[in-house]
Structure 1
Amino acid sequence: MQRGQVPQGPTVWQKLKMGAMMGAGVGLTIGFIFGSYSILRGGAGSRGALPTLSQYMLSSAATFSFFLAIGSVIRNEGELPAHWEASRLHFTQTALQSRQQGLAAMKARWELEKRRED
């Protein structure tokens, strides 16, 4: 990387592939667990143990891959526009106040409400 360049994040295609790979790994694991449990509990069925287990694993992997790929593309880690960043800072500052500041703000709001009612 040259001096002065800003490092770039992954492209949309790279995010899609990464999410699909992670989903496939999770789906294969979950499919193995639930498929094994199903085979041990109810038997392998007419097709046998290996085809039944592979069907559980592949269907689970496809489902998880699809949803994690979409989720990883939708997720945005880029910088927010200035007006969104300002509103985010405004709302997070109120959540990070001390107890004394929160109590003082609550009392001030109560006073305002009492004045409006009168």
Structure 2
Amino acid sequence: MPSVGSHMQQYGQGPSCWDRIKLGFGIGFAVGISAGALFGTFASLRMGLRGREFVGQVGKTMMQSGGTFGVFMSIGTGIRC
């Protein structure tokens, strides 16, 4: 059974540079979200936050970390294109 995307490989074409940059951003965002959840949780607990403040602070940290990692991974992927 042919793998997904094998129709592109038979013509000698792979994913475009833009597709690779988007994938790099997605992977970096996922790594950043997980790192932000870990560090944000510990930082929020250390500050003594509870309830809505805790969830808001952890969410903010996750989004900031995810965005930062995503941008740097997409830039690195773009350099390699």
Give your verdict on TM over 0.5.
Answer: yes
What SS class does the counterpart of residue 48 from structure 1 fall into? helix
In the alignment, the residues of structure 2 paired with residue 11 and residue 19 of structure 1 have an alpha-carbon distance, to the nearest angstrom, of 12
Q: Which residue among 19, 22, 45 is the counterpart of 2:27?
A: 22
* Larger RCO (CA within 8 A; separation ≥ 6): 2
Aligned residues: 72
What SS class does the counterpart of residue 8 from structure 1 fall into? coil
Instruction: Find the structure with the greater CA-based Rg.
Output: 1
What's the TM-score, normalizing by structure 1? 0.55
Q: Does 1:69 align with 2:74?
A: yes
**Structure 2 unaligned residues grouped into runs of 5+:** 1-6
In the alignment, the residues of structure 1 paired with residue 49 and residue 73 of structure 2 have an alpha-carbon distance, to the nearest angstrom, of 30
Q: Does 1:8 align with 2:23?
A: no
**Structure 1 unaligned residues grouped into runs of 5+:** 77-118
What's the TM-score, normalizing by structure 2? 0.79
Q: Which residue among 52, 55, 64 is the counterpart of 2:60?
A: 55
In the alignment, the residues of structure 1 paired with residue 45 and residue 56 of structure 2 have an alpha-carbon distance, to the nearest angstrom, of 14
Give CA-to-partner distance per residue, 1:68-111, whole Å, 9 cap, x none.
Answer: 011111114xxxxxxxxxxxxxxxxxxxxxxxxxxxxxxxxxxx
What letter corresponds to residue 75 of structure 2 in structure 1? Answer: I
Map 1:82-101 onto structure 2 (within 5 A).
none
In the alignment, the residues of structure 2 paired with residue 6 and residue 72 of structure 1 have an alpha-carbon distance, to the nearest angstrom, of 23
In the alignment, the residues of structure 1 paired with residue 48 and residue 27 of structure 2 have an alpha-carbon distance, to the nearest angstrom, of 30
**Aligned residue in 2 for 1:102:** none
In the alignment, the residues of structure 1 paired with residue 74 and residue 13 of structure 2 have an alpha-carbon distance, to the nearest angstrom, of 20
